[in-house]
Structure 1
Amino acid sequence: MSLLFRISGAFILLQVGLLCLGTEQVTADETSRVLAGIRLKYARLPGLTAPYTREVITRSMSMLGNHVKGDLATGRICFKPPFYLRLEQARPRKEIMVADGKTLWWYIPEKKEVHQYPFQKFGKELKVLGDIFQGLVRVEETFRVSMPPQKGLEGYRIALTPDPPWQEIDRIVLTVGRSYDIREIDIHNPFGSITRFRLKEPIPQRLDTDFFRFSPLPGVKVIKE
């Protein structure tokens, strides 16, 4: 499981074409309308913060349905276009992930250690999160985009399937509210596990680039990956 799956991990559609989850089909015009609504809401934001709950659901847990809950974590996510990302996990233990386009830092205060990664190692995953928080800009360049049947939903569900396929991500499914706010991001891996982020209403915020820099404190062990 990648670092992005573990802590953001900072990032849409269930299958190629429409999935047979019902008889109601979604037209291309409807898909375009929903994408346009998301872009209008997010594309012009100078940045944003949003509280999140992250849940990791294994394949066996998925088979048992909603009666079993996965490992839960809570915190907030901060984003500044085009690629600045900061995830601050509060529970079950404090962790911070910071990405500035050059380096990704994963800081674990209780261990007094920070893992340092080249940005390129998680470039695709971080780009996806960046595209999502900018209103799915350029998403068609690397994903097949579709909407499964929407019957019974209070909002919309959009799925992204990587094209060409990715090794660690099978698909990403977004749940979007009627006001086009992104409420849930499900990252499916090829083994059937899901990393699910539930987001509260994003708060538009102009964030300084220094907020996305990280300098290890004295006594913190730096582990270069």
Structure 2
Amino acid sequence: MPNTKFFKFIFIFSFFFWNYSFSFAQKNEGTMNDQNFEKKYLEVLKTASKQDFFSVKFKQEIYSSLREKISPSDGILYIKKPASFRFEIISPRQEIYVSNSKNFWKYIPELKHAQSLQANANELAFVQLLTNLANIKKFYNVSVWEKPDAQKINENINTPYVKSDTPPPQNDDDIHLRLIPKEDKQQKVLYAVIQVKTGLIQELRIVQTNGNRTRLLFNDYSSNKFSDEVFEFKPPQGIVVDKL
């Protein structure tokens, strides 16, 4: 469903900006007593805190548990603190999700249909985490993303990445995080791979409680300035607009 593609991936990007009081004491409750992990995490915080705005291209895969189907797409994301974003799918069909912290729009040109929602709608919880992480510990337990016990998962070497809980090979350039939502009943777990030197996410996987999954690969980050007009949306004349 088009209005779910955005919300399944978003919420982590700025997780690393302000959470300096992170604890590493309990491995199973979202922390890990590992000096190397802590060092990487603090370095990510330092570099990511400098990112007031950026754009990035992405490749996305949506796995439907009901249909047993994987649907690919690609697009571009614009972010500006404190709460502006534009997530635009370019292909296979255009979809636009845009907010300037005052209002939020979802628009699918092919269907000639747009939806207008309040910027603080509950379904935007993860979007808000993208640009404001002051309450990150309220929503997640955080731990190292490690290879799961083979006896507890049903995976083989041919399992697509979007359906897998196994992280990519670890290296010194990245940090792997596993996030368990504390209250959100739709999200089961989120996985993130972040480049330590830049504080930028390279890969994100989201697992929903209904079995649906999303995987995003990010590339071509840019800190070039762009106009605030990218966060504005005016419905084209003649389309159907739902105000929710």
Q: How does 1:96-175 map to 2 (within 5 A)?
A: 96-121=96-121, 122-131=123-132, 138-149=135-146, 152-154=169-171, 155-163=174-182, 165-175=183-193
Give me the whole-angstrom Cα distance separating, in 2, the residues matched to 1:87 and 1:46. Answer: 17
TM-score, normalising length: structure 1: 0.78
Gaps of 5+ in 1: 20-24, 62-67
Partner of 1:196: 215
Give the counterpart letter for 1:46 in structure 2. D
1:31 corresponds, among 29, 32, 37, to 37
Helix, strand or coil: the match of 1:192?
coil
Does the CA contact (< 8 Å) of 1:87 and 1:98 recur in 2?
yes
2-side partners of 1:162 and 1:2: how far apart?
Answer: 23
Aligned to 1:65: none
Find the counterpart in structure 2 of residue 22 from structure 1.
none
Q: Which residue of 2 aligns with 1:182?
A: 201
Q: Taking structure 2 as the reference length, what is the TM-score of the superposition?
A: 0.72
How far apart are 1:32 and its partner, in Å? 2.6
* 1:6 CA drift (Å): 1.9
Q: Report deviation, 1:220.
A: 2.2
1:96 CA displacement = 0.8
Asked if 2 retains the 8 angstrom alpha-carbon contact of 1:55 and 1:195, the reply is yes
Which residue does 2:6 correspond to in 1? 7
Number of equivalent positions: 205
Give the structure 2 partner of residue 64 of structure 1: none
How big is the shift at 1:188?
1.5
CA shift, 1:78, in A, is 0.5
Using the alignment, how far apart are the partners of 2:135 and 2:226 within structure 1?
A: 23
Instruction: Look up the match of 2:225.
Output: 206
Q: CA RMSD in A?
A: 2.9
Cα distance per residue 1:19-69 (max 9 Å; x no partner): 9xxxxx9534333322222222221123010000111124589xxxxxx97
Q: Work out the CA distance in 2 between the residues paired with 1:11 and 1:191.
A: 19
2:180 maps to amino acid: T
Return the structure number with greater relative CO, CA threshold 8 A, min gap 6: 1
- Give the structure with the larger helix fraction: 1
- The CA deviation at 1:173 is 1.0
Gap runs ≥5 in structure 2: 13-25, 148-166
Q: 1:36-55 maps to which residues of 2 (within 5 A)?
A: 36-55=42-61
1:62-107 CA distance string (max 9 Å, x none): xxxxxx9720010000000111110111111011110121221111
Does the aligned pair in 2 maintain the 1:8–1:87 contact within 8 Å? no
